[in-house]
Each structure stands twice: as structure tokens, then as C-alpha cells.
Amino acid sequence: MKVRELSIPGAYAFSPEVFHDARGAFTSPFQEDAFGEALGRPLFPVAQASTSRSRRGVVRGVHFTALPGSMAKYVHCSRGRALDFVVDVRVGSPAFGRFEAVELTAHEATALYLPVGVGHLFVALEDDTTMVYLLSAAYRAEKERAVHPLDPQLSLVLPDGLDLSMSERDRQAPTLAEALEQGLLPDYASCIAEETGAVRD
């Protein structure tokens, strides 16, 4: 398992070895030992596992969850191909308003870890792109938050040549500046305290 820390504090990319033979392939996108060594914590507390399937051009995000009870995410692509964006919406973070994009494919099985409070968006590059999520907290509709994926301040570089499709919720989401003004964005220090405190409990 190769591990790379992203430019967003607390976010990591995990690239497992993929074993191929005449039958197909086998890999382990999540490995507790590698995760614990990278983050200095022994486990990722999985409360829920979810999947999404998207056609080419579908955009999902920028999504994050409110404090307290926010969730960290561990996500990989099990079918197809996606361009995944890790977006720092944590007020007070040294990377606030910045993003890093990583292409995720079923062939390579790279997974991303997004810490508590960090925004997540992906755009499907192929039909039937399937994303698998391990979540540290159960889904709560009242905790869900979003920032507009085409916010000029974020300047997310989406691929050319796609017929973009997004939910009405994402179309109506506030910009980063509007979310900040409305008090919707999580505090960086509080995110870290919640994430590390949840492990200690």
C-alpha cells in the first residue's frame, strides 16, 4: 500500500497493490495497518458503507457535514473512472478554499481519506461509475451541507467535453462566500477536535 498525504491537511491517498491473474484481479483498498500508520490512529470507525452509481458527466458535490456529528469519508471507485476533488471548506484551515483533484479508477483502486469537515466532489468520467464510501458516522439529512460545484471562487477544474448533470440541491447550493456568511462552514480546530476525540472515546 502506497500512501500519499494530499495538500489538504489531514487528507490522504491510499494506493493498494492490485493482483492480476487469468481470473481477473484482487485488491484491498482499505487496510487498517496502512491507515493507522499514516494518521497515527489505529482504526477508521466505520458507521456506514454506501455506494453511488453515476453516468458520464454526473457531478456530485461539493458535500460536507455539519458539526457536531460530522463524518470522515474513505472513498474509492469500484467501477469506471471519476475525477475526485478534496475541497477544504474548514474555516481557519491553512488550505481554506483550496482543493486537490485525484483521478480514481477501478483498475488502480486508489482510495481517498477525507477528514471531518472537508468537502467532497466527484465527476463521473465514464458511464456506470461506481463509488464506494466508508463513513465514520451515519447519514443524517439535517447534517448535510453543500457548496456550489461551479463557484468561481473555488475554481474547480472540471474536464472539458462533458455534459454536466447535477442535482437540484447542488444547483441551489450557496457559494463558499455565501456559506461562510451564513455560518454554514465548519471550524478547522473543531473538526480536528471532533475527529481525534471520537477515536479517544
Write out the DSSP string of 105-133: ETTT--EEEE-TT-EEEEEESSTTEEEEE
CATH number at residue 196: 2.60.120.10
Identify the CA nearest to 117 among candidates 186, 196, 31, 166: 186
The domain in which residue 196 lies consists of 45-200
10: in domain? no
- Is 39 inside any structural domain? no
Residues of the chain with pLDDT under 50: 198-201
Is 63 a known active-site residue?
Answer: yes
Instruction: State pLDDT tens for residues 140-191.
Output: 999 999 999 999 999 999 999 999 999 999 999 999 999 999 999 999 999 9
Residue in 12, 63, 74, 113 annotated catalytic: 63
Q: Which residue has the cell 497515527?
A: 40
The answer to the question of residue 180 being in a domain is yes
Structural domains in the chain (count):
1
Residue 139 a catalytic site member: no
Confidence at residue 198, expressed as pLDDT on a 0 to 100 scale: 46
pLDDT at 199: 42
What pTM does this model have? 0.93
Which member of 12, 113, 133, 188 is catalytic?
133
> According to the model, what pLDDT value does residue 40 have?
87
In a domain, 25, yes or no: no
Confidence at residue 42, expressed as pLDDT on a 0 to 100 scale: 65
> Would you say residue 33 lies in a domain?
no
Cis before 68 (ω within 30): yes
70 within domain boundaries: yes
